[in-house]
Amino acid sequence: MKNIQLLGLLLVVIGSFLPLVHVPVIGNWNYWKLDHYLAIACWILAACAVFGIVNNSVKIVRFFGILLILLFAFTLFAVKMQSLQYFSFLPFKSWQETFAGIVKLKWGWAVEFLGAFLLVFAGGNKKVNNRTQL
């Protein structure tokens, strides 16, 4: 199980460098270009998950995996709201939504979420054989 958790952690860290959002004319943005503080928070949560993996604590790894999923969901929501704010100068709401729709999410999010889900669900139940031997 430790190997799967390490794979999930690796996917989270590598995913932060992959293209997450495509902004026309400007190009692709990774986590660092989206927001420095969110990228640092992602890496700190990943480092805390390493602590749980090294100490064989499934609870710690799951806790930080859930926090990573919440951080990614918050970032997606923030990207959507920020793209609507960029075009708030337009007079009609339908125009704002249309222009905000040109900001596209990229495939890096799949890697980020896959890594976080591996952190959460990879800690299996360890069944101990309690039979007594004569």
Q: Tens digit of pLDDT for each residue in 3-26?
A: 899 999 999 999 999 998 887 777
> H-helix or E-strand containing 98?
helix 93-100
d(CA 3, CA 41) in angstroms, rounded, equals: 23
- Tell whether 129 is covered by a domain: no
Largest Cα separation within the chain, whole Å, is 83
- Tell whether 17 is covered by a domain: yes
Structure tokens at 14: 């590598």
CB atoms within 10 A of CB 65: 27
Number of domains observed in the structure of the chain:
1
- Tell whether 87 is covered by a domain: yes
- Tell whether 128 is covered by a domain: no
Helices 36-54 + 2-15 axis angle, to 10: 170
Which tens digits make up the pLDDT trace of 45-92?
999 999 999 998 999 999 999 999 999 999 999 888 887 777 777 777
Query: Taking the model in full, what pTM does it have?
Result: 0.83
Domain boundaries, position 57:
2-122
**Residue 27: band (very low, low, confident or very high) from pLDDT cuts 50, 70, 90:** confident
